[in-house]
A and B are shown apart, each in its own frame.
Chain A
Amino acid sequence: MIAFFDDAGFILGSYALTVGLVGLLSWRYVRRGSQLGQQIPDDEKPWR
């Protein structure tokens, strides 16, 4: 793994920020889809 260096906070922070933001967006989409999916029968969904 990476050695200790002066800018580790910014570099690791940028990766953590990216993972956090895309993770939040992914979770929101799946959760929203799950909630909406409860209200519509599967046989009406074109992807099922």
Chain B
Amino acid sequence: MTSTDSALAATPASPDESSRHGTGTKATRVLGVATIVSMGWLLVFGLGFSPADRDQEEAVRILYVHVPTIWVAYLGFAVTALCSGIYLFGKKKSLQLDRIAGASAEIAVAFVAVTLAVGAMWGRITWGVYWQWDARLTTTALLFVTYIGYLAVRRLGGSHEQRAKRSAVIGLIAVLEVPLVHWSVRLWRSLHQEATVLNPDDGVQIDGLMLFSLFVGVIAFTLLYAWLLLHRSRGMWMEDVLDDRGLDDALAARRAEAGGRPSPEPAGETS
């Protein structure tokens, strides 16, 4: 691409379009800055200040990412189930509930992917292998695949109301896997360690600085989740609006996304 092309690509197609904004607001900017700052703290404490563990040694540092991401994924799936339940059984059938449910599940699935990938690295150090068909690992993989299915069902054809109804049913059923994953280490003989913080028998048994690093991780990923949820649910709102306006607009948006070019002006609009 030449410099002239770049300049043209950066120029809005019309004065009207130049005043149109995306999903960002002052709230998302504040949330975004808070997320970046807390992620920085996580790097400092997770990789720097936190001491090595007596048994796991330096590998414990991976847990400051591994544990918060799965906790926030649980939160995301719970939000999906809550919105699904309100949509199905509430008096007001708001499609915004369905969009929040969908956005939350999408983000939670990404967080489970991070948990699995990072957990594999921790397993390689601690167990000597990346993967074991252990109860915790297997149920987590099952959870991941289930919500991939949920997201696939959301993309099936039909009206927005049909999408909302069928995905709400799946969202309510799929969330039952979350306690199964969490309690799998107690239900079956597992290679995976039991809970350290949320241990009902022994209470919290962890060094203060380690606990603080874990806490920073939870805060950082929760802020990130909230930031992503705002952006994605607003994006879904616009997708639905464009969908309602007609197939032509939707096709133009997808062409623009695929080609990275500004979408063509609709006929009759001034430039």
Contacts and interface: CB of A to CB of B under 8 A. Distances in A.
B48 A33 contact: no
Contacts of B252: 39
* SS of A interface (majority): helix
Interface in A8-22: 8, 10-15, 17-19, 21-22
A33 B234 contact: yes
B178 to A, nearest CB: 21
A21 B113 contact: yes
Contacts of A33: 22-24, 231, 234-235, 238
Contacts of B139: none
Size range of the chain A interface in the assembly = 35 or more
A3 to B, nearest CB: 9
B113 A13 contact: no
B61 interface: yes
Size range of the chain B interface in the assembly = 35 or more
Contact of B48 (A2, A19, A29, A48): A2
A17 B110 contact: no
B125 interface: yes
B25 A47 contact: yes
Nearest to A25: B110
A36 to B, nearest CB: 4
Interface in B14-56: 16-17, 19-25, 39, 43, 46-48
Residue in B23, B48, B239 whose Cβ sees the most chain A Cβ within 10 Å: B23
Contacts of B263: 35, 38-39
B121 interface: yes
Contacts of A48: 21, 25
Given A21-B110, A35-B263, A39-B249, A30 B23 contact: yes
A29 B59 CA distance: 32
B22 A1 contact: no
Nearest to A21: B114
Nearest to B262: A38
B257 interface: yes
Interface of A: 1-2, 5, 7-8, 10-15, 17-19, 21-22, 25-26, 29-30, 32-42, 44-48
23 contacts: A7-B59, A10-B59, A10-B62, A11-B58, A12-B47, A15-B43, A15-B47, A25-B110, A29-B228, A29-B235, A34-B22, A34-B23, A35-B256, A35-B263, A37-B22, A38-B17, A38-B20, A38-B262, A39-B249, A39-B253, A40-B242, A44-B241, A45-B21
